């Protein structure tokens, strides 16, 4: 029940919430080991405007800190609350990433990524409600790290979130094919 409640809180502005949370995790991970303490997780959630009552937070912590080590990793947190995407979708995300990072370095410049991507099929672009440049800017704002490069883990996490918002495989596949020219 708590998982559903927490996911509903995140879904209010899902991708933006997770992107913000991801940035907070990176900022608060002072040791650089990819783990956060209980207090750091609470601070990350609060800084991302995800407000939980003390009892709710304690329940969240018990779920994510299964081994009771006193620390959790970002990936552990995402897996506990969000889950994984199907193999087919994950394979398509990897294929899309290879277009951005053909050398397999795990990163690519925003400049190079902009040359590959097309947002012409976005529903708001097609309806005339938004310009392609607006959608492109929002996409890169959500994905960008501190520098002008995209990292694979941020890219994958973004499409994991998108995948969770899209129930039908065909719709997800069509987006990936159109945006990345796969």
The listed CATH number (1.10.3720.10, 1.10.238.10, 1.10.260.40, 3.40.640.10) that belongs to domain 87-180: 1.10.238.10
Q: Does domain 2-81 have CATH number 3.40.50.9100?
A: no
pLDDT in tens, 34-79: 788 888 888 877 877 777 788 888 887 887 777 788 888 776 776 6
Residues of the chain with CATH 1.10.238.10: 2-81, 87-180
Confidence (pLDDT) at 98: 92
pLDDT greater than 80 at residue 132? yes
CB < 8 Å & 24+ apart, contacts of 44-50: 45/21, 47/20, 48/17, 48/20, 48/21, 48/24, 49/17, 49/20, 50/9, 50/10, 50/17, 50/21
Q: Mean pLDDT across the stretch 20-43? A: 77
pLDDT greater than 90 at residue 94? yes
Predicted model pTM? 0.60
């Amino acid at each position: 029940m708590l998982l559903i409640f927490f996911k509903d809180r995140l879904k209010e502005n899902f991708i933006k919430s997770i992107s913000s949370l991801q940035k907070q995790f990176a900022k608060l991970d002072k040791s650089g080991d990819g783990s956060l303490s209980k207090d750091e997780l609470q601070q990350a959630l609060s800084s991302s405007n995800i407000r939980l009552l003390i009892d709710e937070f304690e329940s969240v912590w018990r779920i994510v800190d299964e081994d009771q080590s006193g620390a959790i990793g970002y990936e552990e947190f995402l897996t506990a609350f969000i889950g994984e995407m199907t193999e087919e979708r994950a394979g398509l995300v990897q294929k899309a990433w290879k277009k951005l990072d053909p050398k397999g370095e795990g990163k690519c410049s925003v400049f190079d990524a902009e040359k590959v991507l097309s947002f012409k099929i976005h529903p708001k672009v097609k309806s005339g409600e938004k310009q392609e440049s607006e959608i492109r800017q929002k996409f890169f704002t959500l994905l960008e790290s501190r520098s002008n490069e995209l990292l694979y883990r941020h890219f994958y996490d973004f499409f994991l979130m998108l995948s969770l918002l899209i129930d039908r495989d065909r719709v997800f596949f069509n987006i990936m094919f159109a945006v990345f020219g796969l």
